[in-house]
Chains A and B, each alone.
Chain A
Amino acid sequence: DAGVTQSPTHLIKTRGQHVTLRCSPISGHKSVSWYQQVLGQGPQFIFQYYEKEERGRGNFPDRFSARQFPNYSSELNVNALLLGDSALYLCASNREWWNTGELFFGEGSRLTVL
């Protein structure tokens, strides 16, 4: 079975632009979470979605938004990009929302903001 897939793998944007990152969870997994990993740090929780509804949100500004589709795939959107948004954005899935600690991560989308 395919693991969590993310696209694009790498992208470069300039300050003020907008970016959309995409994630497909493991087949049968209904919950998708997004994490931001700045170089040299551990991942930081951004959002969790289950059955198309937002179930959790980390301490990120409103420039960050996400949604989940009926097929359980998800998009993370970031508006008005800042230099500090440069990071690896990780998507993770798990089967149900109540087992959210045991996550299966994708390889990430590396965003560079110039």
Chain B
Amino acid sequence: GQQLNQSPQSMFIQEGEDVSMNCTSSSIFNTWLWYKQEPGEGPVLLIALYKAGELTSNGRLTAQFGITRKDSFLNISASIPSDVGIYFCAGQLGSGGGADGLTFGKGTHLIIQP
């Protein structure tokens, strides 16, 4: 099956720093999404991308859908303590048919040192 390679596995940064993480796949995806999960919670959708080359922002978060459809990145600017959590990329093969579900990466664990 499809696999998503997400990096880095973990990040230790200072408050106020910018963060960058990415996700690559050997397969093409038609949708890329970024989710955040905090302890004891389910993942929460941050950004959804539907077109190759698309660049989308949500507050301090910016994500891009790679031109090849095989990669995506997420940037967080000026990190704050509440950004702590695990960030997952997810890809979907279909254009919304649902038959394939989402394929998730293994996550990037973001830790912020005050």
Residues of A within 8 A of B (CB): 4, 31, 33, 35, 40-46, 48, 50, 55-56, 58-59, 90, 92, 97-108
Q: Which residues 67-114 in B have Cβ within 8 Å of A in the complex?
A: 88, 90, 92, 96-107
A contact face: mostly helix, strand, loop, or mixed: mixed
CA distance A45 to B4 in the complex (A): 14
B contact face: mostly helix, strand, loop, or mixed: loop
Report if B33 contacts A (CB, 8 A). yes
Count how many chain B residues have C-beta atoms less than 8 Å from C-beta atoms of the other chain. Answer: 27
Given known A-B contacts A105-B42, A106-B42, A98 and B98 have beta carbons under 8 A apart: yes
Q: Which residues of B contact A59 (CB under 8 A)?
A: 1
Residues of B within 8 A of A (CB): 1, 4, 6, 31, 33, 40-45, 48, 88, 90, 92, 96-107
User: Among the interface residues A4, A40, A50, A101, which one has the most CB atoms of the partner chain B within 10 A?
Assistant: A101
Q: Can you list 23 contacts pairing A with B, beta carbon distance less than 8 Å?
A: A31-B98, A33-B101, A41-B106, A42-B88, A42-B104, A42-B105, A43-B43, A43-B88, A45-B101, A45-B103, A59-B1, A90-B43, A97-B97, A98-B98, A100-B98, A100-B101, A100-B102, A101-B33, A101-B90, A102-B33, A105-B43, A107-B40, A108-B42
